[in-house]
Amino acid sequence: MSLKRFKPTSPGRRHADLPDYSELTPVAPEKSLLQPIHKKGGRNFQGKTTVRWRGGGHKRRYRTIDFSRAKDGIPARVVSREYDPNRSAWITLLSYADGEKRYILAPISLQIRARVEAGETAEVRVGNAMPLRRIPLGAVIHNLELSPGSGGKVARAAGTSAKLIGKEGDRAHVRMPSGEVRIFDTECRATIGEVSNPDHKNVKNGKAGRVRHLGRKPKVRGVAMNPVDHPHGGGEGRARVGRPQVSPTGKLAKGGRTRKKRKRSSVLIVRRAGKGRR
């Protein structure tokens, strides 16, 4: 996967580094796996804005993704690799031997017409899903479950992966994409390989209009607001913040702790994520 550069025919083209979609299969999405999406514009059921700077954007349809990979013992063929507007990674359409079709996250190097499988009898190769107890140490994995049967939650973004680094009985030690080392049940399922589209982090939109197409509105700095709208607002002319930077509700915005002190899952964390601790 690489990025595409354009002739500088305009400022928006000059500064754009966009995905090269040549590796995707030029097909329409599978109709049986599409669902409508009702846009919220960052509002909750009361109509109040709970997520700022959201709204507009191109109309989308949701692709139903099989994160659980619970269809055991039935082989499938990779039919296509497609774009999904709802996530950063590419997706892959599988056609099972019994005729059913499902979307999964596309791993890097999983080729069209390749054979994939899930369950106890699956081989350890890219695209196959199985419990952690069947995966060898040092394997690169993604779409990892937090608890058995819950469906994949960890390492689903473009270019991300986790690594199985140890096993002790029914507990497995996994290094997360952030560098954090966490304990998982060995019955939790994961898919072998790294998530596709690793160059997503290097994309440059080039112009404001493309960001609006993605459903993002312009951000307004707190210091440019009135005191009634933000703690940083007010003052004459260009006033500095004069205090630790905070959110509109007063919570620390730069380096403040966001994890609850007595969260139950904290006992499962062996090593926290941090600088130089990968």
Q: Which long-range contacts (CB under 8 A, 24 or more apart) does 126-131 make?
A: 126/192, 126/193, 127/78, 127/92, 127/191, 127/192, 127/193, 128/191, 128/192, 129/69, 129/189, 129/190, 129/191, 129/192, 130/189, 130/190, 130/192, 131/186, 131/187, 131/188, 131/189
Could you say which architecture CATH assigns to the domain 220-278?
Irregular (4.10)
Q: Residue 46: CB partners within 8 Å, gap ≥ 6?
A: none
pTM value is 0.91
pLDDT in the model for residue 107: 97
pLDDT, mean over the chain: 95
Average pLDDT over residues 170-186: 97
Give me the pLDDT at residue 1, please.
58
- pLDDT tens digit string along 129-166? 999 999 999 999 999 999 999 999 999 999 999 999 99
- Give the pLDDT of residue 278: 41
Q: From CA 133, how far away is CA 4, in angstroms rounded?
A: 41
Overall average pLDDT of the 28-41 stretch:
96
Give residue 276's pLDDT band: very low, low, confident or very high (50, 70, 90): very low
- Residue ranges of domains in the chain: 19-200, 220-278
Correct CATH for 19-200 of 3.40.50.300, 3.60.70.12, 2.40.50.140, 2.70.98.60? 2.40.50.140
Residue carrying structure tokens 């890097």: 108
Q: Tokens representing 167?
A: 């096993």
pLDDT for the residue numbered 258: 84
Model confidence at 255, pLDDT cuts 50, 70, 90, reads confident
Residue 277 pLDDT level (bands cut at 50, 70, 90): very low
- For tokens 């500064």, name the residue: 15
Per-residue pLDDT, 224: 95
Q: What is the pLDDT of residues 202-243, one digit of tens each?
A: 999 999 999 999 999 999 999 999 999 999 999 999 999 988
| Residue 54: predicted pLDDT | 96
Residue 88 binned pLDDT confidence (cut-offs 50, 70, 90): very high
Residues across the chain: 278
